[in-house]
Amino acid sequence: TEGKPIKCKAAIAWEAGKPLSIEEIEVAPPRKGEVRIKVHATGVCHTDAYTLSGKDPEGLFPVVFGHEGGGVVESIGEGVTSVAVGDHVIPLYIPECRECKFCTSGKTNLCSVVRATQGQGLMPDGTTRFSCKDKQIYHYMGCSTFSEYTVVLEISLAKVDPVAPLDKVCLLGCGITTGYGAVTNTAKVEAGSSVVVFGLGGVGLSAIQGAKAVGAKRIIGVDTNPRKYAMATQMGATECINPKDFDKPIQQVLIDMTDGGPDYSFECVGSVDLMRAALECTHKGWGVSTIIGVAPAGAEISTRPFQLVTGRTWKGSAFGGVKGRSELPLLVKRYQDGELDIDSYVTHTFALDEINQAFEAMREGSCIRAVIQM
């Protein structure tokens, strides 16, 4: 039977820098290889605020943001076989087609089959499934979870245990997986290592959790907001420091604290100055620094080449190097087994109507993750 459009509520960003507005939108039925899902919950990630701000070179408007969701399959398009109506799913902004040269390389999670159209806010056939007031509305990062219903590709869905609470495991759709995976997959931090994490938001706290899980000996959290230290300590930080408390550059402070610098560092803020500090603080000869934060259009990193000549390595990580369809079910299991903390991250919950308050909470600095319950 032919699917029908669904009218539902969504938060639309009509233009950069303006609050989102709750509108009735029409969500078209899923086409070939697509799945329509009822979104049950979604986190709000700093990246949503970044693109809303207008600093993302790929930002498009009007758009439905949101890329940290959990939902239930409402209907499937032609040819969809890996998920069925009623399945619980987490949308993935990095798909996993299992066929492209990236997926088959064994070297990366950056599946690229649909990256071009995804970056243009479109489904692979070049159209969108959202409309409002006779206008086409763009998709965001292939997910658009700030809507009661959304359409996502089959290859962009991780099927998860239906027993797992979607208003918690939705956070595996971005922040938690990103920080945790950057430590365990990208940098491959070993037991006994020293680790510095710059930025103690949802991503940085998860890097700390990952570092603790692999047995890092010393884990130093760096943030300009001291309200983040209690959670960082709870996640496994052995110390927390504020760059504002020192006259010396933060890289020098860290080198002095750790007898030559940490083995690993992670930048979880999106500041190119901190990216430089994060590289330069690491230990001569073997230090590895991983960039996770997203910097604004036009920003560029720099350092003296000597920093690399003398044995430091600069890396980057997207979605923690995680292949979502294969690996997210394992992280869900780890959560269910009590080995991965997700619950502590949910410091705020809001209804979809209140979504601008979630952005406000993130700016205000008291919040780790706000979860929108649909």
Residues forming the active site: 45-47, 67-68, 97, 100, 103, 111, 115, 174, 369
Residues that bind Zn ion (CB under 5 A): 45, 47, 174
Q: Whose Cβ is closer to Zn ion: residue 287's or residue 293's?
A: 293
> What residue 57 binds from ligand NAD, ligand AHE, Zn ion, none (CB within 5 to 8 A, per partner kind)?
ligand AHE
Binding mask 124-153 for ligand NAD (x = CB under 6 A): ------------------------------
Cβ-contact 55, 297 below 8 angstroms: yes
> What residue 202 binds from ligand NAD, Zn ion, ligand AHE, none (CB within 5 to 8 A, per partner kind)?
ligand NAD
Q: Quick one: three-class SS letters along 172-196?
A: HHCHHHHHHHHHHHHCCCCCCCEEE
- DSSP string over 265-295: EEE-S--HHHHHHHHHHSPTTT-EEEE-SPP
> What residue 43 binds from Zn ion, ligand AHE, ligand NAD, none (CB within 5 to 8 A, per partner kind)?
none
Cβ-contact 278, 267 below 8 angstroms: yes
Query: Taking CB under 6 A as the rule, does residue 91 contact ligand NAD?
Result: no
| In the complex, minimum distance from the CB of residue 316 to ligand AHE, in angstroms, rounded to a whole number | 9
Query: Which of 202, 210, 287, 324 touches ligand NAD by CB under 6 A?
Result: 202
Residues that bind ligand AHE (CB under 6 A): 45, 47, 56-58, 94, 115, 174, 294, 318-319
Residue nearest to Zn ion (CB): 45
| In the complex, minimum distance from the CB of residue 29 to ligand AHE, in angstroms, rounded to a whole number | 27
Tell me how far CA of residue 79 lies from CA of 29, 31, 41, 154, 342, in angstroms.
14, 9, 27, 9, 34
Query: Which of 222, 352, 370, 372 touches ligand NAD by CB under 6 A?
Result: 222
Q: Whose Cβ is closer to ligand AHE: residue 178's or residue 265's?
A: 178
Cβ-contact 178, 328 below 8 angstroms: no
Query: Taking CB under 6 A as the rule, does residue 272 contact ligand NAD?
Result: no
Query: Which of 36, 55, 168, 228 touches ligand NAD by CB under 6 A?
Result: 228
Q: For 47-52, which contacts have Cβ atoms below 8 Å and span 24 or more sequence positions?
A: 47/141, 47/174, 47/294, 48/140, 48/146, 48/359, 49/359, 49/362, 49/363, 50/270, 50/294, 50/296, 51/140, 52/13, 52/16, 52/17, 52/20, 52/359
Q: How far apart are CA 207 and CA 202, in angstroms?
A: 9
CB atoms within 10 A of CB 351: 13
| In the complex, minimum distance from the CB of residue 79 to Zn ion, in angstroms, rounded to a whole number | 29
The amino acid present at 347, given as its one-letter code, is T
Q: Whose Cβ is closer to Zn ion: residue 115's or residue 218's?
A: 115
Q: Whose Cβ is closer to Zn ion: residue 40's or residue 67's?
A: 67
State the residues that interact with ligand NAD by CB under 6 A: 45-47, 50, 174-175, 178, 198-204, 222-225, 228, 243, 268-271, 274, 292-294, 317-319, 362, 365
